[in-house]
Amino acid sequence: MESGPAIFAGTAFTLFGGALLLWTTVRALHGQPVAHGVAPRTAVALTSLSGAASLLLGVWCFGRL
């Protein structure tokens, strides 16, 4: 009964985290700003940390099945 929401949450977190990490990597490699008004290193660090945390949360959700 509880596996449905866990699968949904795990999928959402994993897709979001992976997409955020991919987007951040592409923007940083092309020398484009990751976030406007923020220092480039700070923006890359914070978005990478958020993406990794989201990926880990998604993996944790799948591990709860």
What is the DSSP annotation of 1-65? --HHHHHHHHHHHHHHHHHHHHHHHHHHHTT--SSTTS-HHHHHHHHHHHHHHHHHHHHHHHHT-
- Mean pLDDT value of segment 31-42: 93
Average pLDDT over the chain, rounded to whole? 93
Least confident of 5-9, 17-21, 50-54: 5-9
Would residue 57 be called left, alpha or beta, if left means φ above 0 and alpha means ψ between -120 and 50 degrees? alpha
Percent of the residues in the chain that have a pLDDT greater than 70, as a whole number = 98
Domain residues for the domain of 38 are 3-63
More confident residue, 4 or 19: 19
User: Are the CB atoms for 41 and 34 separated by under 8 Å?
Assistant: no
Q: Is the pLDDT at 1 greater than 80, yes or no?
A: no
Work out how many domains the chain is built from and give that number: 1
> Could you tell me the pTM of the whole model?
0.87
